[in-house]
Amino acid sequence: MTPARVYLDYNAGAPLRPEARAAMIDALDAAGNASSVHAEGRNARGRVERARAAIAALVGADPRRITLTSGGSEANATVLSPDFVSAGSPIRVDRLLLGATEHPSVLSGGRFAPAAMEIVPVDAEGRIDLAALEQRLVVLAAAGQRALVSVMAANNETGTVQPVAAVAGLARAQGAISHADAAQAIGRVPVSLESLGVDFLTFSSHKIGGPQGAGALVARSEDLMPRPLVTGGRQERGARAGTENVAAIAGFGAAAPTAQREADSVAPLWGAWRDRLLARLSSDTPGLFCFSAGADRLPQTLSVAVPGIGAETLVIGLDLEGVSLSSGAACSSGKVGPSHVLAAMGVPASLARGAVRISFGWETTENDLDMFQSAWKRVVGRIRAAQERAA
């Protein structure tokens, strides 16, 4: 019998929920293009619209303001545009202001030219510098330039929760557009379009236990929308062309209600587990360093490093013990590289190279965390013993 593995990489992607799997299979067993007018097409359209309503409920949005995409990265690329339409008239955005610790799909700048992009610094805990942001917005507004500000709701590496409502308020005061990438926050903490105050939210299905390959762009108002990224058809009310991936959308919608309930009720339990796990790891591992320990963080995310031990060594050792987690400096290729997040926080490169991220979720049990702690103690012990022999 294959030993049970402990999966602690939810920030990369959560396991598929049973209800999402069932909804996908049901959709895959049915024929029909959601744009067709016959019975099969109307049936497919019904699946899409029911899912849209469930996804909108995650953030308290109007379902008509939801644009379904192939994932969070596409949703981000769509909203990061210098060209918007406001109340039917085209408007131009001159500058894109980005938090220094944003996800690579945001740091790429979408459709902005590199010369039009600016990075706003963060503090040692990874929180955006609101004073620096306000100063830059005031200068741009005085020069007659319109800005788009993009700040993630919560960081994928450290779990740091950003002051998005404050960011949105600063942007609004200077006539700027605001966007938050909420991919990591949805299903982990309560997220409300109204309370955050941003013009646009983006998030993805596979972070909450839905399938990979589905995401959403949420607009506050129908009066302000970016020019479509994908053109050629009138799907998604003209906001995104292309035949909808009905099965993935159905799975996304099926996962949404449970994820919403977890954010409201289970998150405090996760936070207690996280803090207890950190205390145990710290006791077992003298010198353990926790990143963003002084910031408001996601309840199920822990980013730590052991000075003198590389992240890749830890990740491989734990994998051999049956535990799956990620390097805090993992890039999109899956290889370990420098973390721009930790660099922006001023973390020394020697410490950043050892950062690993523990993230859990809907299928995690306390026993899983106990098994991880035991595996961690064995792996760190072996590595340190080998280092002592080599020395």
Same domain, 125 and 251: yes
Q: What is the pLDDT of residue 4?
A: 85
206: Cα within 13 Å, side-chain hemisphere: 14
| Cβ burial 138-165 (10 Å sphere, 16+ → b, else e) | eebeeeebbbbbbbbbbbbbbbbbbebe
CATH of the domain at 369: 3.90.1150.10
178: Cα within 13 Å, side-chain hemisphere: 28
Residue 332 has pLDDT above 70, yes or no: no
Same domain, 243 and 342: no
DSSP state of 236: G
Same domain, 345 and 252: no
| Under 8 Å between Cβ of 158 and 297 | yes
Choosing from 331, 349, 385, 386, the catalytic residue is 331
| Cβ burial 292-319 (10 Å sphere, 16+ → b, else e) | beebebbbbbbbbbbeebbbbbbbebbe
**Where does the pLDDT of residue 338 fall: very low under 50, low under 70, confident under 90, or very high at 90 and above?**
confident
Range of the domain at 314: 6-15+265-390
Q: How far is CA 228 from CA 85, 131, 156, 207, 317, in A?
A: 10, 33, 27, 24, 45
Q: How far apart are CA 167 and CA 12, in angstroms?
A: 26
Radius of gyration of the chain (CA): 22
Q: Which residues contact 385 (CB under 8 A, 6 or more apart)?
A: none
Q: Determine what percent of the chain is predicted with pLDDT higher than 70.
A: 97
Same domain, 256 and 290: no
Same domain, 62 and 193: yes
The overall average pLDDT reported for the chain is 95
Which tens digit of pLDDT belongs to each residue from 122-168?
Answer: 999 999 999 999 999 999 999 999 999 999 999 999 999 999 999 99
Which of 262, 294, 322 is the C-terminal boundary of a domain?
A: 262
Rounded mean pLDDT, 171-190: 97
Same domain, 134 and 111: yes
CATH of the domain at 231: 3.40.640.10
Q: How far apart are CA 274 and CA 293, in angstroms?
A: 11
Is the residue at 78 inside a domain?
yes
Same domain, 153 and 38: yes
Is the residue at 1 inside a domain?
no
| Chain length of the chain | 391
pTM value is 0.95
Same domain, 184 and 276: no
Is the residue at 273 inside a domain?
yes
Same domain, 79 and 221: yes
Is the residue at 72 inside a domain?
yes
Same domain, 228 and 288: no
| Under 8 Å between Cβ of 186 and 267 | no
Same domain, 196 and 300: no
Is the residue at 211 inside a domain?
yes
Is the residue at 159 inside a domain?
yes
Looking at the 3D structure of the chain, how many domains does it have?
2
Which of 230, 262, 294 is the C-terminal boundary of a domain?
A: 262
Same domain, 244 and 272: no
Which tens digit of pLDDT belongs to each residue from 255-304?
Answer: 999 999 999 899 999 999 999 999 999 999 999 999 999 999 999 999 99
Query: Is 290 assigned a catalytic role?
Result: no
Which of 262, 285, 313 is the C-terminal boundary of a domain?
A: 262
Rounded mean pLDDT, 207-214: 98
Which tens digit of pLDDT belongs to each residue from 212-260?
Answer: 999 999 999 999 999 999 999 999 999 999 999 999 999 999 999 999 9
